[in-house]
Amino acid sequence: TDATYINNNHSSLETMESTLELELQSYNMAHPKRGIAVIINNYTNRKGSEKDVKSLKAVLKHLQFDVRLLSDKTTVEIRHALKEVSKENHTNNDCLVIIAMAHGYNDRIKFEDDYLHIDELWTNFVGNKCPSLIGKLKLVFIQSCRGGKLDYGASIATVDARPGVEEPVDVKIPMYADLLVMYSSYEAHSSIRCPNEGSWFIQSLCQVLGANIAKTELQALLSHVSYLVSIRSNQTIDPQGKVIKQIPMVTSMLTKAFYFVPK
């Protein structure tokens, strides 16, 4: 059931509406540094992931991130590394990026010794757990299967449709505000990785982030990533001869627009 609370704010809805700013604000990108990007990759039985790591390192460095790579680590080592990053001072950073690549199922990711629940990737960085990241974007990308289902797509008839510096204020914000998580596939479905070319999702993400994106808002960029994944699978066939498709999934708690403004 819905929780019911008494509103102690005596401002009427009419007053709130009259003062509401309807224009979407942007995250502050004027900090001296872009921020830290943590790449977590399990190479074991994941041929092709080395290409994903190479592509990610190149594009994230191009975007001026401080890139940290964790390869073939145990869950204990990963938890410790993420905890240490959360203890760092992010005051001069725009944002934080975490990318995890491994085998997985449902909401768990498999590493060298055990499974890591996906929310452990960001739990150290939300709310008051990392004060210097409050109000700043936390981006999490997950390249992992979420189950064993395969997406065989749907047929449609196609037609040609070508187109003719804020003052500091003491406020409280929701615990999970400013967090965006992008999964490589829909719930309970597989994610495809090519041994020669890398995974569809990570390669599409790098393709988009490596373009001229300074004037394009983040969620528009991620929509294009989803589009590239959806068409990248056109020639992939399962053992029964059926074409396999894939579509990423985004869970967004963002409250502002985000642009990768050049430093």
Domain ranges of the chain: 33-150+177-253
Q: What is the pLDDT of residue 176?
A: 84
Q: What is the pLDDT of residue 158?
A: 47
Residue 219 has pLDDT above 90, yes or no: yes
Which residues have a Cβ under 8 Å from the Cβ of 45 and sit 6 or more positions away?
103
Residue 87 has pLDDT above 80, yes or no: yes
Q: What is the pLDDT of residue 240?
A: 82
Percent of the chain clearing pLDDT 70 (strictly above): 81
- One-letter amino acid at 194 equals C
**Confidence band (pLDDT; 50, 70, 90) for 6?**
low
Residue 226 has pLDDT above 60, yes or no: yes
The tens digit of pLDDT for each residue in 64-74 reads: 999 999 999 99
Alpha carbon distance 115, 105 (integer Å): 9
Q: Name the residue with higher pLDDT: 260 or 17.
A: 260
Residue 94 has pLDDT above 60, yes or no: yes
Report whether 75 contacts 109 (CB < 8 A): no
180-190 mean pLDDT:
92
Residue 13 has pLDDT above 80, yes or no: no
Q: What is the pLDDT of residue 137?
A: 97
Q: What is the pLDDT of residue 167?
A: 46
Alpha carbon distance 227, 204 (integer Å): 9
Q: What is the pLDDT of residue 249?
A: 96
**Confidence band (pLDDT; 50, 70, 90) for 21?**
low
**Confidence band (pLDDT; 50, 70, 90) for 62?**
very high
151-174 mean pLDDT:
54
**Confidence band (pLDDT; 50, 70, 90) for 147?**
confident
CATH class of 33-150+177-253: alpha beta
Is 145 known to be catalytic? yes
Q: What is the pLDDT of residue 8?
A: 60
**Confidence band (pLDDT; 50, 70, 90) for 165?**
very low
208-233 mean pLDDT:
95
Q: What is the pLDDT of residue 170?
A: 45
The average confidence (pLDDT) of the chain is: 87
Residue 104 has pLDDT above 90, yes or no: yes
The pair of three-digit structure tokens given for residue 32, joined into one six-digit string: 């001296």
CA 119 from centroid of its chain's CA atoms: 12
Q: Which of 95, 130, 145, 206 is catalytic?
A: 145
Q: Which of 103, 117, 130, 194 is catalytic?
A: 103
Global pTM value: 0.85
DSSP string for residues in the chain: ------------HHHHHHH---SPPB----SSEEEEEEEEE--TT-TTHHHHHHHHHHHHHHTT-EEEEEES--HHHHHHHHHHHHHS--TTEEEEEEEEESEEETTEEE-SSSEEEGGGGTTTTSGGGSGGGTTSEEEEEEES--SSB-B--------------PPP------TTTTEEEEESS-TTB---EETTTEEHHHHHHHHHHTSS-TTS-HHHHHHHHHHHHHHHTTT-B-TTSPBPB---EEEE---SB------
Q: What is the pLDDT of residue 120?
A: 97
Residue 169 has pLDDT above 50, yes or no: no
Q: In a 10 Å sphere around its CB, with 0-12 CB exposed, 13-18 middle and 19+ buried, how is residue 189 labelled?
A: buried
